[in-house]
A and B are shown apart, each in its own frame.
Chain A
Amino acid sequence: MTLDDKKRVLQEMVLHRRFEERCYQAYIERKIGGFLHLYPGQEACCNGVMEAARPGHDYVITGYRDHIHAIKCGSDPKVVMAELYGKATGSSKGRGGSMHIFDAAHRFMGGYALVGGPFPLAAGMAKAIQMQGGDEISICFLGDAANNQGVFHETMNMAKLWNLPVLFVCENNLYGIGTSLDRSTAVVDQYKRVCAYGVEAAQCDGQDIDVVYEHAKVAVDHVRSGKGPYFLELMTYRYRGHSMSDSRGYRSREEEDHWKLRDPINILRDKLIAAGKLTMDEFQQLERNTDAYIETEVIAFAESSPEPDVSELEHYVLA
C-alpha cells in the first residue's frame, strides 16, 4: 500500500468506526431493532484483507457482524443503514436486518446468523468460480468460535480435497459470545487446527493494518494463483459486547484498556502523522466530516425512507 492508499484506508476506517458507533446510538433510540453486532476494534482485519484482494470483484461472505464487510465491498452506507432501520430502501428491502446485509452487485454475498454456516457456502462459491474459470476468489470472514462447528472441519476437508479458491479469514477476537476461547477450545491457536487438512495457514496481528495487509497479500496470491485454500488468523478484539444485549461481565476492564492501546485506527493514524502524510488537526477534521456525512446523508436517508409495503410481505419467498 502506498501512503496515499493508507490515507484513503484511514478515511474508510474512520467511517467504519463512526458508522458503527452511530448504529449504537440508533439502537438505544430504538430506531434499530433485533440483534446488533458491532465491529469497532476489528477494522484493520476487513480493511487489510480487502486491500490485498479486489473488493467488488472477489466474492465475500461473512457472519452476522457484517455491516463493514458490505461497505468495504462497495455497498452504499445509506443503503446499509436503511436496512438496519428496516426500510424499503434497505439492501434487503427491510427483510434482512443487521445480521443479513446483502449486496450481490458488489459481490457481497451476505451476512448469515448461524455460527459457522458460511464455511461451506464460501467453498461452494469457490467451486462455482473454479467451474466458470474466472480469476475471482471466495473470501469467508468468520470469528474464532465458528471453528468449533462441524462444518468448519467438513469444509476444510473438501476445500483442500478439491483445491478450491477460497480464503478463510478468522477474525479471532478471543470470545465466542461471552465465553473466552481458552474456555471453549482445546487448541487456542486457530491456524494450527487446519493443519490436519493440509490447508496452508498463518497467524498474525490483526490491529496493525500493515501487518494484516502483508499477510493477506500472501494469502490472496496463494488462493488466486490456484494453489488452493488458505486460512489466515488475525488476532483482534471487539470493543463492544458480542451484541447489544451483552454487558461484558465475562472480561476485565483492564483487558479492554490494554487492547485499546493497540487501536487499529490510532496505529495507522500515528504512522501517517510520523510519515508527514497527515496532521492531528486533519485527522480531527476527518472525524468531524465523517460524523457530518453520517448524520446528513446516511441517517437522513434511513430516517426519511418509507417502510416496506405490507402488501408485499410474501414477495421474495419463491422466484
Chain B
Amino acid sequence: MAEIMYWEALLRAQDEEMARDPMVICMGEDIGVAGGTYKATKGLFEKYGEKRVMDTPISEGGFTGLGIGASFLGVRPVIEIMSVNFAWLAMDQMFNSAAKVRYMSGGQLSAPCVFRSAGGAAHQLGAQHSARMEKVFMGIAGLRVVTPSNPKQAYGLLKSAIRSNDPVFINEHELMYNMKGEVPDSEYLHPLEGSEIARTGSDVTLFGYNISVHWCLKAAEILQTQHGISAEVIDLYCLSPLDRAGIRKSVSKTHRAVIAEEDEAPVGVGSEIIAIINEECFFELDAAPVRVHSAFVPQPYNHTLEAAAIPDHDDVIRAVLKLFGKA
C-alpha cells in the first residue's frame, strides 16, 4: 500500500477510469494544458488528448450543462468546478437538469456525471472564494453527495462515482490536496453510501466529514490522554443519502454526540444530523447534541478574523468538555 497525496489519488482514479472506458472524459477550467489548479488532472491532456480532457471557457453554467447533456447519451464526464463558490453558476444545470431528469422522465434518462469541486476556507481567500456549500447539495433529491476525508476515499469514491448511473457531487477541500495517506495498490472502489468509524470510543460520538474528520481525530486523542474521555469518531464521507443506521448505532452506544462542520450552522450538516438523532434514537441520549461550526458571516479576509470564524479541534474539545460538565 503506497502513501500518496490526495491530488495524486484523484489523478490516479481519473487516469484508471479513462483508460478503462473511452466514454469517460474530464472537463473544466485549466484542467488540460495547465494540468489543473490542484493537479488532479495533471498529465491527462498529454495522454488522452483535447477531445477527452477539455479545457473549458470560464462558463460554469454552460460547460456543466454540456457535460450533463453528454451524459444523457452515455458519456461519463468528470466536471471540475475550480472552486465551489463558482458552482452557484452551475447549480441550475446540476439541480434542474442532472438531479431531476431521471425522475421527471419516469426513469427513461439518467445523468451519470461527476461534479468535483474544492470548497472550504483556505488562506485569506475572502468571502467569494471560501464558501462551504455541501449543505446546499445534500438537500437536492436525485443527487448523490460524497466528501472524501483522505486519499484512499478520494481515490475510491471518485472511481465509484464515475461508474455510478446517478449524478454525484464530490466535495473536496482546498487545504487537503497535499494531504498524504495510504491508498491500496490494487484497484479499489469505495461504497458511495454509508459512513466509517475513524476511531472507536465509548463516551461520546464526534461526527465529522472531509476536513472536520481530522479535527475530530485530533480532539479525540487529546480528550483521551488529557481528560480520560473516550470519543468515537464517525466519518460521514457520504452526505446524501446520510447513513441513518450508522448514526443511530454509534449514538446508541455512546449516548452523546458532537457534530463538527466547517459550514455555518443554519440549515447545515449539523442540523440534519441532530434531526436524524432525534428521529432515530432520542431516548438513547444522555445530553443534548452539540454542533461545532463556523460563524454566520461571509468569510472575512483578515487572518485573525478568518481564524475566529472557522472552528478547529479546540472547539470540538470545548464542546465535549461542556457536554460532560467540565467546562
Q: Which of A91, A125, A157 contacts B59 (CB 8 A)?
A: A157
The answer on a CB contact under 8 Å between B67 and A104 is no
Stretch at the interface among A26-34, A114-122, A223-231, A254-262: A114-122
The answer on a CB contact under 8 Å between B109 and A110 is yes
CB distance from A276 to the nearest CB of B (A): 44
CA distance A61 to B142 in the complex (A): 21
Could you give, for residues 120-159 of chain A, a 1 whenever the CB lies within 8 Å of some chain B CB and a 0 otherwise?
A: 1111111111111000001000000000001100110110
Which residues, 167 to 212 on B, are CB-close (under 8 Å) to A? none
Chain A interfacial residues counted at CB < 8 A? 48
Stretch at the interface among B92-100, B222-230, B248-256: B92-100
Q: Which of B74, B108, B141, B165 contacts A128 (CB 8 A)?
A: B74
Which residues in B have their C-beta under 8 angstroms from that of A123?
62, 65-66, 69
- Closest B residue to A121 using CB positions: B69
Tell me the number of A-to-B contacts counted with CB atoms below 8 Å. 153
Chain B interfacial residues counted at CB < 8 A? 44
Which residues, 78 to 92 on A, are CB-close (under 8 Å) to B? 90-92
- Closest B residue to A129 using CB positions: B73
CA distance A130 to B22 in the complex (A): 13
The winner among A92, A114, A319 for most chain B CB atoms within 10 A is: A319
CA distance A121 to B103 in the complex (A): 17
**Given A121-B68, A131-B75: A102 and B106 interface contact (C-beta under 8 Å):** yes
Please tell me if B51 contacts chain A, counting CB pairs below 8 Å. yes
Please tell me if B110 contacts chain A, counting CB pairs below 8 Å. yes
The answer on a CB contact under 8 Å between A127 and B23 is no
- Closest A residue to B56 using CB positions: A158
Which residues in B have their C-beta under 8 angstroms from that of A129?
73
Please tell me if B315 contacts chain A, counting CB pairs below 8 Å. no
Please tell me if A112 contacts chain B, counting CB pairs below 8 Å. yes
The answer on a CB contact under 8 Å between A125 and B97 is no
Please tell me if B325 contacts chain A, counting CB pairs below 8 Å. no
The answer on a CB contact under 8 Å between B105 and A100 is yes
The winner among B25, B72, B96 for most chain A CB atoms within 10 A is: B72
Please tell me if A176 contacts chain B, counting CB pairs below 8 Å. no
The answer on a CB contact under 8 Å between B66 and A158 is yes
The answer on a CB contact under 8 Å between B109 and A109 is yes
Which residues in B have their C-beta under 8 angstroms from that of A127?
66, 69-70, 75
CB distance from A182 to the nearest CB of B (A): 27
18 cross-chain CB contacts under 8 A: A92-B104, A102-B104, A102-B109, A103-B108, A105-B108, A109-B72, A110-B109, A112-B96, A112-B97, A113-B96, A117-B92, A119-B62, A124-B72, A127-B69, A128-B73, A128-B74, A158-B59, A158-B66
Q: Closest 7 CB pairs between A and B?
A: A124-B69, A120-B65, A154-B62, A121-B69, A128-B73, A319-B165, A92-B106
